[in-house]
Amino acid sequence: MARFQVVITLVLIGPIFASSIQEDERGEDHSSTGSIFKSNHAEGNDALFQGDINMESWELEDVKKHHVVDKRNVLRSRKYLWTDRIIPYVIDSSLSQAAATIKDALYELEKHTCLRFVPRTYQGNYINYKYLDGCWSRVGKIYWKEAEQEISLGKGCDKKGTIIHETMHALGFWHEQSRPDRRNYVKVLWENIQDGMEDQFDRYSDDYVNTLGLDYDLDSIMHYGKKSFSVDGVKQTLEAIGDPTRDLGGNTLTNADINKINAVYDCGTTSYGWTQWSSFTPCDVYCRKERQRYCYHYGNKKMCGGAVNDYGIESQIIDCTTAECPIPRDGHWSRWSKWGDCSVTCNDGKRERTRKCDDPAPMHGGKDCIGDDILKGICVMPRCRLDFDDTEFTNGNMGMWSAVYSGFKLQWKVTNLPTNKANTGVFSDHTDGKGYYLLMDTASAVAGDKARIESYWMSGGTPQCLKLHYSMHGSSQGSLRVVMKVPGNPEWYILYLTGDQGPGWKYATANVDVTGSYMLAIEAVAGGNWYSDVTIDDIYLDNGPCDCQDTYFQCVTWHSKGECTKNPTFMNMYCKKTCGVCNCHDSDTRCAKWASQGECQSNPAYMEVKCTLSCGACACHDDDTSCTYWANNGECTKSANYMNKYCKKSCKIC
């Protein structure tokens, strides 16, 4: 699979106001989009297009056709503009307390542009600011009829930056990162995006959106933050090329934001009449290109004469020159599809996903995409066979676990339903998304309240590994503990997790290594009420220490086919027990990355010592980076006892 990265040096236009702090010391996103998406998520409004855009169904279908918007990230069609540059508005009584902030935001836009916001009197098209469910707007004017168009400023949406952001949508502007040229400036980290939210990062084609020839603005009030739609709220989903840790997006207008408004509304034309022509679109598949202008009018959209349409727009379509068309266009991969179904219903199986060479597709002799269009992977399903000490809570069965009531104010509840509140808990079980799991519901809890389950008494003697899946998500999260009980001794923790671990199911292990009888307990402690639900599912107790386990059931089969030797990098990582490399490890967390970049081959003396596991050198390696040098100087003979023990590969012992 090929990966593409374009590195370009950027010259950025800075904000004209004091720059805002994008992230606090905890890494929280304070850009306008960060605040907006947080408010919408709290309202359960995650299905809005690109996080805060409300669209008609036919508009959404049209947008989807053009995914990969014009460079100024404004709709190229001028019919979406407020062509008299006057935007009537109403502030609903539900937002009376925010009226001053709304007016301040509109004044900010007026101060730097030729647009004027006026209280609505008789006008048929106008914006109505309302307190609804979250922060959202449509993009551009409802041009096809006289109608109110709503901008929702719900809970948490009454900040000045948020109001400017949503109003700019209504003026016709998309998010900055949806520009067709964004790949020159930011990289999308698809693997870190919440499942099902990949389309929130669509780009749009030059024929649909106009960049106005202006530079890409990483600080724009219309730009996503670098962690927007992150799978865990921590990992970045967008990365500035050349400066990966740079913050993205802002909560104040930048010079570039202002220039975009003035450019698309042609504020340089101050007298009624035709505005300047827009730039031409790229040549289409028929070798034609189009540009538009609008009639800047005082109420009569057709006052300018000419070939004006009902919306006050004139279009000009011409043939491209032979020098322009056909221009070879190289293909580029679209994002990967979702994974297909697993080939099995239990244990390990195979699955695959696909992508198309259509973002854009190669045209006029351009190069095809490099790499594969199918990616095959391994999928892990519920275990086919459960031992007595394995529990998946199927049909509500608690297995070897039982609830403890005495002394505990909260109880674990077996459920197959989503947790009943947002921003904590899970939507379904971990096993297959259809079954049961355990929930400690903290709706009526106070900090320090606990819930506990305990296992049977069991016999120790050989090392074992406890494996469990859990969720600890919420702003007032407490702790989760696995407790060891041995007769005649105080209890102790073998696993202790605390604080918000992020949304979704997580995985944890704990070593169980005792002699004689023992009991395990799993205990959750509420950090507060409401936002500290804890869930657990799929608890297994497998033989062997946790650092000597196979990840996949197929490891034994793969080993029988010689894969431990043929494919050591993968097998030594995921089939440690079967391949007999439990004591083989990397000494640097960057080893896997270096190995993927070919360092095992280009720098073997260092890599096979420091990154033995990632380089697949567990069976035969040196223990010192100087071994090759010593061997070349005859030390294998001079110092045979030492060299044969610590420099086996260089001395050809293995």
By the 10 Å C-beta count (0-12 exposed, 13-18 middle, 19+ buried), 639 is classed as middle
Largest CA distance in the chain: 100
175 carries a ligand binding annotation: yes
CA-closest candidate to residue 223, choices 241, 242, 205, 247: 247
Other residues' Cβ atoms within 10 Å of the Cβ of residue 493: 14
Give kind and range of the element (H or E) at residue 538.
Answer: strand 534-543
Report the distance separating Cα 136 and Cα 52, nearest Å: 4
> Residue 534 to residues 161, 397, 537, 580: CA-CA distances in angstroms?
35, 19, 11, 36
Residue 186 makes CB contacts below 8 A (sequence gap 6+) with 177, 218, 238, 239, 240, 241, 248
Query: Contact 543/535 with Cβ under 8 angstroms?
Result: no
Catalytic residue among 166, 392, 599, 608: 166
- Decide if 160 contacts 100 (C-beta within 8 A): no
> DSSP string of 254-309?
BHHHHHHHHHHTTTT--SSEE-PPPPPPPP-TTSEEEEEEEEE-SS-TTTT-SS--
Handedness of CA 105, 110, 111, 112 (dihedral sign): positive
CB 290 within 8 A of CB 302: no
Go through the chain and tell me how many residues it has: 654
**Is 392 known to be catalytic?**
no
Q: 140, 265 in Cβ contact below 8 A?
A: no
Residue 169, marked binder? yes
Residue closest to 196 by CA, chosen among 442, 486, 556, 504: 504
Determine the straight-line distance between the first and last CA of the chain, rounded to whole angstroms: 34
Q: Roughly what angle, to the nearest 10 degrees, separates helices 99-112 and 160-170?
A: 60
Q: Assess contact for 144 and 104: CB atoms under 8 A.
A: no
Determine if residue 165 is labeled as part of a ligand binding site: yes
3-state secondary structure of 92: coil
Binding-site residues for Zn(2+) sit at 165, 169, 175
Please give the positions annotated as active site: 166
